[in-house]
Amino acid sequence: SKLHTGLGPGRRHDHDVPQGGLRPIEVQKIHSRARAQLPQWLSDLIVQSPSPGMSKVRFHLAHEAEFQGQVVLVGDALAQVGPHTDVGPAAIVYQAEQLLYAISNSTSGEMLRKNLRFWSIKARQNIGKEGGFSRYMGHLCQQTDMVGRELPGAEPEAQNFMLDPDVKVDGRVGADMLSKLMIGFQNS
């Protein structure tokens, strides 16, 4: 098997995969594939990761995004297979591309760089803690309605922006809203 499992204390796993890791040869294969198939900035992230992974992510969209003119599905709620395949990685790559574009834009770049520094410091403070970076990002997504007040140097529109918690779809809408706050609504 390519996957080492059971590296932690023995216990029954009813709903999750046991803690594990890749064999060194598999890590080398992933690094090679990343260098061959991805842009350098993205392959560098994979190569630097202590637990790298690459997979194709396919969106299987619902037939309609709008129902009876009243409900609009967005993000993971729009994907039929979202809960058990987590289509989030594709959205993350898309948002990263948008952030790179915004950083290179002279009008929004400086404010965005300030905001990115703020969030990267916060993220680094949480790496290594229980749940790590992904748990911290999930917390940010859940707390998007308060994010606008905390962004240093954010435009007044972003500081006053509030997302009603009732309209969030299990916190996942927050990721998209967070990226818009970081960009400062330059494109909206």
The pLDDT tens digits for 126-137 are: 544 544 444 444
With vertex at residue 185, the alpha carbon angle to CA 181 and CA 188, rounded to the nearest 5 degrees, is 135
The pLDDT tens digits for 38-90 are: 888 778 877 877 666 655 545 445 455 555 555 555 555 555 444 444 445 55
Averaged pLDDT of the chain: 55
**Which of the two residues, 118 and 3, has the higher pLDDT score?**
118
Pick left, alpha or beta for residue 119 (phi over 0 → left; psi -120 to 50 → alpha; otherwise beta): alpha
**pTM: predicted TM-score of the whole model, two decimal places:** 0.28
Q: What does the DSSP 8-state code read for residue 130? A: T
Find all residues with CB under 8 Å of 42, minimum gap 6, and list them: 34, 93, 96
Domain boundaries, the chain: 1-8+16-51, 64-188
pLDDT of the residue at 130: 47
pLDDT of the residue at 45: 76
pLDDT of the residue at 184: 44
**Which of the two residues, 24 and 188, has the higher pLDDT score?**
24
Strands 3-5 and 20-22: antiparallel
Share of the chain above pLDDT 70, in %: 14
